[in-house]
Structure formats: C-alpha cells, structure tokens
Amino acid sequence: MSRRKLAVWKFASCDGCQLTLLDCEDELLSIAGAIDIAYFPEASTTEVEGPYDLSLVEGSITTPHDAERIQTIREQSTTLVTIGACATAGGIQALRNWADVREFTSIVYAEPSFISTLDTSTAISEHVDVDFELRGCPISKAQLVELINAYLNDRRPYIPAHSVCMECKARGTPCIMVRDGVPCLGPVTHAGCGAICPAYDRGCYGCFGPSESANVEALAQWWKGLGVEDLDLVRALRTFNAYAPEFKEVSDRYA
Amino acid sequence: MDPQTVDRHGLDRLITHLAESGFEVIGPTVRDGAVIYDHISSTSDLPVGQGDAQEGGQYRLVNRGDSALFGYNLGPTSWKQYLFPPKTELLHIRRSNGDLVIEEPPTRTRPMAFFGIRGCELAAISIQDKVFLDSGYVDRTYASGRKDLLLVAVNCTTSAATCFCTSMGTGPKCESGYDIVITELVDDGETRYLVAADTERGESIITAVGGSPAKDEQLANAESAVQSTAADMIRSMDTDGIYDLLIENPDHPRWEQVAERCLTCGNCTQACPTCFCSDVADRVTLDGTAIRERRWDSCFGLDFSALNREPVRESTSSRYRQWMTHKLATWHDQFGSSGCVGCGRCITWCPVGIDITEEIVAMKETVST
C-alpha cells in the first residue's frame, strides 16, 4: 500500500498551529516516516499535487478568494481536519463580525480600495464539511500527534471533549474560582491544554473553545455573583473563540 | 492499651517513626491556597494554625490565630488520588519478532501511611475497598496501595459549613478502620494530643513513640470536643426514604431545574472520595508500541454513556440524575451502602455551588406536598 499523503493549508491565522507540527521534534521523524508530507509550504518548497488523503487546515475564511480556495481543498481531500481556534471558530479575527470591517481597513491601510475582504471571519465548517476539529490557540502537540496517529491506524482519536476542570483535578490544582474567586472559563472550556493557566493562578481563557454541553449561561450568572461586570464577561467570552456558537450566544446576551 | 497523650513533639516522633519504619508518609499541607495531601516529614508541614471557611462553590483559608494542627476541614483533594490515581498505566504492549509482548508495569511496593485522615474519609476508603477489592475483581493498583496501608486518623474537632457526616453516620468521630486515632486537645494554652490505637500495629507504634497515660479529664474533653463538633454541624441530609424518593421520581421537575445550573464540568465526581469511574485508552506511538492507560472519568461527560458513539444520557438532567441516584440510592443495591460519606466536597468544589443536600430537600418537599 502506498503511503498516504498529508497536506497542510493556511487561511487567516498566525501560523502557530501548523508550526506545532514542526514543533513535534521527537515525533517528527516518525510522522515523516509514516506519511508523505506532500504539501506544507511552511516546511518545504516541494509541492506534490493532490488529491490528498489528510488535509490539516489552519485559519479562518476572511476573503472571497479563500472562500473559493477551501472548496477546492475539500474536493482534493479525503479527510479534512481543522486545526486551531481560527479554523474551528473563526479565531480572534472574528471580532470583526461585530464591527464594520470597512472602517478598520480605512484606518489601517493607505489604500483601502486594494483590500478585498469579507465582512466576517468564519470557521471552515461554515463553508465545507469537516471530518474532525482539533481545538486550541494554539493546538496541543500531543493531540496533533494523537490525531495523525489515529488517522494512520484508522481509529478514532482519543481527544476527550470534557471540561478543563477534569485536567485541573487530575493534576491536583485546587479550583482557582472556588478558592480565590478568580473568574475562570475552565468549567465550560474544552480540555486539551492540560489546565496550564489555573496551575499558575490564572483563570482559564477558553483557548480551546466550548466543551461538550457547555452551560455558559449558568457560569455567566455565577461570574456576576463574583462581581464580574457585563463588559468584562463579554470580553472574556470574545477572545480566541468569540464566534463559537456557545460563547457567542451568551456574549451577545450581555453585550 | 489505654489512650496516651503526647505534645506536638510526640507527633513529630510519630511521623519520624513512620518514615523510619519504611512508610511513605502522606498528610495535609497547605499549597495553592488550600489544604491538600502530599508528602510530609514533620508537623511543621501540617496546616499549622490554618482553618477554612467553606460554602457552596467557595473555599477560603482562614488564619485561626492559634497553632492548631488539625483546625482545618477537608480540602479539594482526597486520599483516593493515592489508591486510585488520576492516571495509571495498566499495560505496556510492544511487538517483538512478530508477536505482541504484553507487560504489566510494576505496582507500588513501599507501603503508605495516611496521616490525618478523617472519619468520613475512612468511610470513603472502606467504600472503595468494596469497589476495587471485594466486588469479584481485585484491582492490582488499588490493592498495592492498600496493602499494609497505615491509617493515622484524626477525630474532627471542627466542621465546615458544607460537612454533613453526622447524617451519613461517618463522623466526626472515627469509629473504626484506623490504626491510630488522634484527638487534638487545647488545654490551658498547651495543646495535647490524645492518641489511641485500634490495631496491634497501632499499639506498637504508640509504644515506640512514647507518651503519658491520658487522664480522665482529657478523655472527657476529647469526647465533648467531638460531640460539640457533631452538634454544631450546620448541614444535614435526611436519608429517611431517600432510596424510594430517588427511584420513584425519575421525572421530577427538580432534575430540569438543577440542570439549568449544572455546568456538567465533572468537578463533583473528581472531588468525591468514593467516585470511581474511569476510562481506559491506549496511547499508541507511531513506531507501534502502546501504553494502556486508565484515567479518571465522570458520568457528567457525554462519552461516558456513549454506545456506538451516541450518548445514552444526552441531557444534563439525565446525567445529574444518574450521579445523584447512583450515589444515594442504587449504590445500596450495588455495594450495600450509600456512596455518600457526607464530606461536602461536591458542594464546596462545585464551581457554581450546587448542593446535594439542598436537592434532596427540594425533592422531598415537592413530593410530600
């Protein structure tokens, strides 16, 4: 059987997620040995033509050109996996969805007329079918390796969709919200980071987006009891995964 | 052997004696703004002068203004992390000459001593004993931790607002299941510790540590300290008829009401000293070796009840109902006792302060009227 072909694609994003693949260091040679890295401009100028067996897609759709390009990539890809908050929820650039992007371009660019951009930044799944979404800003190296590994072995990746709290409890971090009243998004945020922030006395920022069955409204009400102002609640929900439906619905309610 | 009293140095000798006898001594200590359990080597590692204020979804360390060693109440972690760790490697699997080689990783050989375990926590261990040792299958990880485990208990002379052990019959006094029990006695400014043994092992340790025979007055003071702790306990759970209440009301509107507040984050199950659910998954490397690992899981997760990828308990109300009904009712069918020891951790460490005792009250009120 010939080796399967991997492609890595970039849309509106910071490159951090695809660089996670290069950051795999210890596993990188094993990955390169197990799958053909056919298209990955960040790593190699060699481009092997499609179709591709596995496409990793980073970034959100923000331009008319990208909205067309993702269709072509989908057609060329047997399995398409989005990597990171941009591709999965529209990223931090989805903040434009609540504003007038033409106003932004008029301030930022000397010749705004050269800029062809959409009014919104949207997730890849808004445009094409997505087979799996890898969460995070950036994604977790361990989860990326697990995803590729599971794909190569035709099994389901072991990537629990439960809350960050499960990771805090497993590493023995006393809940920062309970012991110190620090607002934390952990109870409604998808696990995967290993609960880093609460271990350093910071509330969870929600980098991995909503967990399965996230009850964001109930947490919002508790935060208000902790003295969090509506504006700060909205800011907390509108960061890396602002346009994830579970976060958006509640941030709109308090905006 | 009659109960003895020692001063704080006596407890230091006790800890040292345990360490020198080969035990890994684990006890309460302050870290990250809470009393947690970790390795200790002297009484200065204990939460000296620390108390705490607890409520639903709230925990604060409080300076007691004295030098009490056991003036704190239960913190977020329980002893289960040592007997049933959050992550356990079960098997190592690799290929060799076309065959699969499957090896069980070694388990613990050095015995542990739990120093400062409370009555409700002794009860929690005896409940997990039934799950991991007496239910027909012996869990080798749990059994290795439980083997020769030495239990130095402490009678509670203080309670948190979230405690309800008196309702569950597990405290504040340690009735059985320990080797040594300590009661802290504040007397004329000089704190003494009443130590009593319940096993031969405990007796020989107390003999080695030395002390003076307890006076009648000290015994009476210890008894009254524990009794007033019981009398002062704020929370309670009326367990009368609780089995039928839960079994007969699967469609009670209260389940939907609590589901509106429940985050399904799983904290209650992770903090609970008796919750024992786990998930087993293989971590496979690209070069073909695998580690089969067990991790704590929670009935509040969707994957937990997934059959053929779809969850059986999709709604939050069904998941909360599953947890509470199992804990307080069907646990009796399965293991012959309640699964709740009244430690109150699920109340304090619920990020939004959901209170299992309040849920029972609400359900009882509406059912009876």
ipTM: 0.95
Q: Is B94 inside a domain boundary? A: no
Nearest to B194 by CA among B171, B223, B169: B223
Q: pLDDT below 70 — which residues of chain B?
A: 187-188, 368-369
Is the separation of the CB atoms in A20 and A141 below 8 Å?
Answer: yes
Nearest to B284 by CA among B60, B123, B52, B93: B93
Q: Is B53 inside a domain boundary? A: yes
Contact assignment for A213 to B264 by CB distance below 8 Å: yes
Q: Is B225 inside a domain boundary? A: yes
Q: Is B151 inside a domain boundary? A: yes
Interface test with A, best of B162, B265, B283, B291 (most A CBs within 10 A): B265
Q: Which residue has the tokens 């990771």?
A: A167
* Beta bridge mates, B71: none
Residue in chain A lying closest to B266 (CA): A166
Residue in chain A lying closest to B297 (CA): A166
Q: pLDDT below 70 — which residues of chain A?
A: 1
Q: Is B176 inside a domain boundary? A: yes
Contact assignment for A149 to B285 by CB distance below 8 Å: yes
Specify whether B353 is located in the same domain as B310.
yes
- Rg value, chain A, Cα: 19
Interface test with B, best of A24, A37, A169, A246 (most B CBs within 10 A): A169
* C-alpha A30: how far from chain center: 25
State how far residue A232 is from chain B, nearest Cα, in angstroms: 19
Q: Quick count: other Cβ atoms within 10 Å of Cβ A212?
A: 17
Q: Is B92 inside a domain boundary? A: no
Q: Is B39 inside a domain boundary? A: yes
A166 → closest Cβ in B58, B270, B302: B270
B-chain residues near A27 (CB < 8 A): 285-286
Q: Which residue has the tokens 């239990």?
A: B151
Contact assignment for B265 to A161 by CB distance below 8 Å: no
Domains of chain A: 5-152 (3.40.50.700), 164-254 (no CATH)
Helix H or strand E encompassing A36: strand A36-39
Domain boundary, last residue among B173, B208, B232: B232
State how far residue A42 is from chain B, nearest Cα, in angstroms: 23
Q: Is B90 inside a domain boundary? A: no
The predicted pLDDT at position B369 comes to 53
Specify whether B224 is located in the same domain as B263.
no
Contact assignment for A179 to B296 by CB distance below 8 Å: no
The predicted pLDDT at position B309 comes to 86
Specify whether B209 is located in the same domain as B276.
no
Specify whether B113 is located in the same domain as B165.
yes
Domain boundary, last residue among B183, B206, B232: B232
Specify whether B20 is located in the same domain as B133.
yes
Specify whether B69 is located in the same domain as B204.
yes
Count of the separate structural domains present in chain B: 2
Specify whether B223 is located in the same domain as B246.
no
B36 → closest Cβ in A172, A188, A212: A172
Residue B198 burial by Cβ neighbours in a 10 Å radius (0-12, 13-18, 19+): middle
Domain boundary, last residue among B182, B209, B232: B232
A163 → closest Cβ in B86, B265, B287: B265
Q: Which residue has the tokens 């293989």?
A: B282
Contact assignment for A218 to B296 by CB distance below 8 Å: no
Q: Which residues have CB under 8 Å from B248's CB, separation 6+?
A: none
The predicted pLDDT at position B188 comes to 63
Specify whether B177 is located in the same domain as B200.
yes
B-chain residues near A3 (CB < 8 A): none
State how far residue A120 is from chain B, nearest Cα, in angstroms: 30
Q: Which domain holds residue B48?
A: 4-77+107-232
Is the separation of the CB atoms in B83 and B142 below 8 Å?
Answer: yes
The predicted pLDDT at position B368 comes to 63
